[in-house]
Structure 1
Amino acid sequence: MAWFLLVAGGILEIGWALGLALSDGFSKVEIVIPTLFLMAGSFYLFAKSLKVLPVSTAYAVFTGLGSFGTAVLGMLFLGDAVSLPKIILVFTLIFCIIGLKVVSTPSKEAGHKI
């Protein structure tokens, strides 16, 4: 359950990062308001996951997922530069995140309620 919350928080982080890019410096209220809700939600889910997961692993996964998703969506939809080295590095990032999941163990009692 903690991993699900962490991944969901990372996905919301992608949303608020894109919201920041689209808000035109916080001048578009119709984008700012959902962006703030996405921020609050992502940090809430991240904090809940920390009840079970070690912060060192959880934070790396949380920010890594946000970075990966934001980079990919930026290249696909926002006109960010695309190059082979950039694609290779972005996918290396996601493989490292998967690796962290594979080698990590919960820091707290496995049956701990979130």
Structure 2
Amino acid sequence: MAWVLLAVAGCLEIVWALAMKTSEGFTRIWPTTIMVVALVASLGLLAVAMRSLPLGTSYMVWTGIGAIGTFIAGVLLFGEAMSLSRLVAAGFVLVGIVMFKASA
């Protein structure tokens, strides 16, 4: 169950990062509100997952999901560059997440 909570927390990290981007420097109320709610929920779920998962593993997987998810969202939603080197870097993060999960 802790891994499921951690995955949801990582997905909420993507949500709050996207909401922060669309908040235009916290000048738009709804994206800012979504960001705050998603951020609190993400951190709360991360804390619950850490009750039974190691700190380093939890944090690495949480940030990795957020990093890969926001990278993909940036490419798909905001037209950010998708170069071979960026894809390889995202692949390394993904491999790291899988290795942490396999070794926990």
TM norm. shorter chain > 0.5: yes
Q: Counterparts of 1:54 and 1:92 in 2: how far apart (Å)?
A: 21
Cα distance per residue 1:8-44 (max 9 Å; x no partner):
0000000001111110000000111111100010001
SS in 2 for 1:70: helix
Q: Supply the AA of the counterpart residue of 1:8.
A: V
Q: Does 1:5 align with 2:5?
A: yes
Identity %: 35
Q: Counterparts of 1:81 and 1:25 in 2: how far apart (Å)?
A: 22
- Displacement of 1:58: 0.4
Counterpart position of 1:48:
48
Q: Counterparts of 1:32 and 1:80 in 2: how far apart (Å)?
A: 22
TM-score, structure 1 normalization = 0.88
Structure 1: where are the runs of 5+ without partners?
Answer: 105-114
Query: Considering only CA atoms, is the larger Rg found in Structure 1 or Structure 2?
Result: 1
Structure 2: where are the runs of 5+ without partners?
Answer: none
Counterpart position of 1:110:
none
When the two chains are superposed, the root-mean-square deviation of aligned CA atoms in Å is 0.7
Counterpart position of 1:82:
82
Q: Counterparts of 1:73 and 1:98 in 2: how far apart (Å)?
A: 21
Counterpart position of 2:17:
17
Aligned residues between the structures: 104
Cα distance per residue 1:82-110 (max 9 Å; x no partner):
10111111122112101100011xxxxxx
